[in-house]
């Protein structure tokens, strides 16, 4: 197992753990469980500089641990859990939209070109148009999910935004139903869109440089950390 794979294990583990911890915390309803989920999110956001031994990252982590520990016996950690699904998905939607504005190349176009081992401008015109449209499609999907997460966070009871502000939502859902959608079903929707788009692409463009779905995933991973970091610059 090479060093790049070893470095990828902690962030992947933290990313997989967060929605499960957040859903458990919502089901539990307590501040301590919500604090554990939020600490996992803090670690996920800071894992790269933490692994590099950056002093500011360790100081920031210590500050977050102290602050969340102080809040653990209050209702605030449960309220804070409402924000990440909307903010994270909204940020991803913005990144897709941002890449559609010249002089940038669309995110999906850059990924396709990297896998085809050429510049985006050298892609066949139909494939270039498709990849650009797919980038817009991902932006729409992520924006819709962010909006849905935000609306459901507003009307969830008893810890939704409106309920905590002392207002009765005109339409309400339970806290666990909100968590089921925001922390679990979101990923199912994204995964379903990803797999469905792959099947459509294989039908529209059958002669691609990968043999099957798992070879496609392997080749995406093989693009390397430097490519994926630069993709969002």
pLDDT tens per residue across span 167-215: 889 899 998 899 999 999 999 999 999 999 999 998 999 888 888 888 8
For residue 38 the two structure tokens come to 């939020």
Q: Among 47, 74, 101, give the residue marking a domain's end.
A: 74
Residues 43, 7 share a domain: yes
Residues 122, 209 share a domain: yes
Higher pLDDT, residue 86 or 223: 86
Residue 2 pLDDT > 60, yes or no?
no
Name the pTM for this structure. 0.87
Residues 108, 42 share a domain: no
Residue 233 pLDDT > 70, yes or no?
no
Residues 90, 58 share a domain: no
Distance of alpha carbon 105 from alpha carbon 113, whole angstroms: 10
Residues 28, 11 share a domain: yes
For residue 39 the two structure tokens come to 């600490």
Q: Among 20, 44, 74, give the residue marking a domain's end.
A: 74
Express each pLDDT in 21-76 by its tens digit: 999 998 888 889 999 999 999 999 999 899 888 999 999 999 999 999 999 988 88
Residues 86, 26 share a domain: no
Q: Among 51, 74, 97, give the residue marking a domain's end.
A: 74
Residues 161, 63 share a domain: no
Residues 54, 22 share a domain: yes
Residues 91, 3 share a domain: no
Residue 1 pLDDT > 60, yes or no?
no
Phi-psi region of 166 (alpha: psi -120 to 50; beta: other; left: phi over 0): left
Q: Work out how many domains the chain is built from and give that number.
A: 2
Residues 183, 111 share a domain: yes
Q: What is the mean pLDDT of residues 97-120?
A: 92
Q: Give the bridge partners for 173, in sequence order.
A: 156
State the residue range of the domain holding 7: 1-74
Q: Is the dihedral of CA 135, 136, 139, 145 positive or negative?
A: negative
Distance of alpha carbon 9 from alpha carbon 68, whole angstroms: 25
Q: How confident is the model at residue 4 (pLDDT cuts 50, 70, 90)?
A: low
Express each pLDDT in 127-166 by its tens digit: 999 999 999 999 999 999 999 999 999 999 888 889 888 8
Residues 115, 230 share a domain: yes
């Amino acid at each position: 197992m090479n060093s790049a794979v070893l470095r990828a294990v902690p962030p992947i583990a933290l990313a997989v753990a967060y929605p499960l911890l957040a859903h458990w915390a919502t089901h539990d309803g307590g501040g301590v469980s919500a604090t554990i989920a939020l600490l996992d999110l803090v670690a996920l956001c800071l894992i790269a500089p933490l692994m590099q031994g950056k002093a500011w990252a360790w100081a920031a982590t210590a500050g977050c641990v102290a602050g969340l520990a102080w809040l653990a016996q209050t209702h605030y950690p449960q309220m804070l859990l409402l924000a990440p699904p909307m903010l994270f998905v909204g940020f991803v939607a913005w990144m897709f939209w941002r890449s559609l504005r010249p002089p940038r190349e669309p995110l999906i176009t850059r990924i396709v070109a990297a896998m085809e081992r050429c510049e985006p401008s050298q892609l066949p015109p139909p494939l270039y148009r498709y990849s650009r449209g797919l980038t817009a499609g991902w932006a729409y999907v992520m924006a819709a999910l962010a909006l849905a997460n935000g609306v459901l966070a507003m009307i969830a009871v008893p810890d939704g935004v409106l309920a905590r502000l002392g207002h009765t939502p005109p339409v309400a859902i339970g806290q666990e139903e909100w968590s089921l959608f925001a922390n679990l079903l979101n990923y199912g929707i994204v995964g379903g869109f990803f797999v469905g788009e792959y099947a459509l692409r294989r039908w529209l463009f059958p002669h691609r440089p990968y043999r099957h779905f798992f070879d496609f995933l392997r080749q995406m991973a093989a693009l390397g950390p430097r490519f994926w970091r630069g993709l969002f610059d």
